[in-house]
Chains A and B, each alone.
Chain A
């Protein structure tokens, strides 16, 4: 079983920690506790080939640009999840800027964009056109840490892309 390092990056309060908790422990809490620095967790995942991989998930503190410390945390990542809040367009803009910086730093590693909080569909603010503007088709996935929608699949798809 191989170890693969996966990082979650994105603006503050977009739901990175909630996504990790949903994926790792299958729980959700309304309490918001900001992540200081980084929190590392692991989760076992089976690929389509039947091979098991252990994802070492680095849930990084919310940031709107890539600091020196963030770069240190990104080192050695086999892939990353870019998270934005679907009801806050500014976090989507931040995510795009972060993607640009991270892709430069982690040359060629796969990534997926997660538009989180899809359970708040009535307040949704990210259009399909916005999504298609600067990223490849099917790059952005709609997820909800609250309901679990798309979470497992997103981690799975990223793991597949990392093989």
Chain B
């Protein structure tokens, strides 16, 4: 038998031998072999125990499992977010939206609070003080307002255990009044609980309590709440610091914070940890240079009083000028165009009819110092009847016994007049401005006065006899022809008022 013939026979023998040795377990071994070599089957087997294996591993050493899975999970999450952003957005929406909403509400509240604060101060004594400081130091007012609006001081910090309200830590600025901080902590938490249970169980609770110039800001964590008692308005940066502080305490002092037995050591340690927040805030507040403002305040107050006095003085003068200008403007023949300050004094501008007199002549009695006012008036002719009558009276030198009145454009004269004035009126070549005609029918003349006038103007010779009757003058006797011609000219003037009888007058050439 050749070697090649012997090999199949040896294989069969080995198979027989295996059958004898392994018996029924041979099928099991083959099945195991099949499972191990079959990738699908192997995956099936692992999937059945994978969840339990992870759970067990986490229980035994969660750090190790977390470490092992973190990179893969991180990468996996990253890829999934890129591939299915919508799914992640939908999953995160319920938890992230309230947080975003709260953040926006908080920012809006702080902005509104700041604007409200600035507006309130804009109309206050504080604002005036800032203006004076700006004037004194040359610093822009806006810079001072910004500096002052962010000034605040953290008076106290209370770390309160959620639930029990026990005081975990209490930091306060040096010199702050001593208070029962444990009781305050309890009451704050009681108020917090009351508000939360009454109004907003699902929300994070109370954020702010205002008491006069103090505001208590509450920042909430899972196991503790940080209450900051602040004087002034805390800037947004402070809240970031406070939240960071609370997060750090939760991360590093979680057991102490959650322990219902709050020991001295815990309180001391947590108080110490709160100090940086208090000190930093104090330093920020103290960054403003400390100056002795006593003198400045006194000078500012004096300057304010002086300025106020000057302002009142000028306001009084302005009031008097306005009253005086109004009084002028109400008068016929004066038009006031305005009153203004120029070169340190008041100037009243306008037009005036000279018939009314110079407006400056009316200044006495107004209470205005002549050195504080000047007049810039241009002349004009007023057609106001009262001014026209005044002008006519002056121009025509109306005598005392003659009354004047206007009827349309006609000047009506009435009364007993001197012959000399009447003669001048009749001989006048121009009418005063403002009238079209003169009605002298109401003028009366006395015959005796006419004789005196004629004697004065043309001289009455001794050869002439003069006989006055009620409305006629009889002239007789002998005179030269020239004299008679002169007499006739005068008769032409007075002839409408008095009758002249010269029939018996004899004259030679």
| Partner-B contacts on A (CB < 8 A) | 1-5, 37-42, 54, 56, 58, 68-69, 72-73, 75-78
Contact between A56 and B182 (Cβ–Cβ < 8 Å)?
Answer: yes
The binding surface of chain A is classed by DSSP as: strand
B164 in contact with A76 (CB, 8 Å): yes
> Judging by beta carbons under 8 Å apart, are A39 and B187 in contact?
yes
Contact present for A78 and B190 (CB under 8 Å):
no
Q: Are A42 and B180 in contact (CB under 8 A)?
A: yes
B163 touches A69 (CB 8 A): no
Known contacts A3-B182, A41-B180, A56-B166; 10 further A-B pairs (Cβ under 8 A): A1-B263, A4-B261, A5-B166, A5-B186, A40-B186, A58-B190, A69-B197, A73-B190, A76-B161, A76-B164
List of A residues within 8 angstroms of B198 by Cβ: 69
B182, B196, B261: the one contacting A72 at CB < 8 Å is B196
Residue of B nearest to A3 (CB): B262
Given known contacts A2-B261, A2-B264, A69-B198, is B182 in contact with A75 (CB within 8 Å)?
Answer: no
For this complex, into which size category does the number of interface residues on chain B fall?
A: 20 to 34
- Chain A, residue nearest B262 (CB): A3
Query: Could you give 16 example pairs across A and B, Cβ below 8 Å?
Result: A2-B262, A2-B263, A3-B267, A5-B165, A40-B165, A42-B182, A42-B186, A56-B166, A56-B185, A58-B186, A69-B198, A72-B193, A72-B196, A75-B193, A76-B161, A76-B165
User: Closest 7 CB pairs between A and B?
Assistant: A76-B164, A40-B186, A72-B193, A75-B163, A76-B163, A3-B262, A42-B182
Complex Cα gap A77–B426 (Å): 124
In the bound complex, residues from chain B placing their C-beta under 8 Å from that of A1 are 263-264
Q: Does B260 contact A (CB under 8 A)?
A: yes
In the complex, how many angstroms separate the beta carbon of A44 from the nearest chain B beta carbon? 10
* List of B residues within 8 angstroms of A39 by Cβ: 187
Q: Which of B162-186 contact A (CB under 8 A)?
A: 163-167, 180, 182-183, 185-186
Report B-chain residues with C-beta under 8 Å of the C-beta of A76: 161, 163-166, 260
Closest Cβ of chain B: how far from A36's Cβ, in Å? 10
- Are A40 and B183 in contact (CB-based, < 8 A)? yes
Q: How far is the CA of A41 from the CA of B190 in the complex (A)?
A: 12
Query: Does B194 make an interface contact (CB < 8 A)?
Result: yes
Q: Which of B167, B190, B196 contacts A3 (CB 8 A)?
A: B167
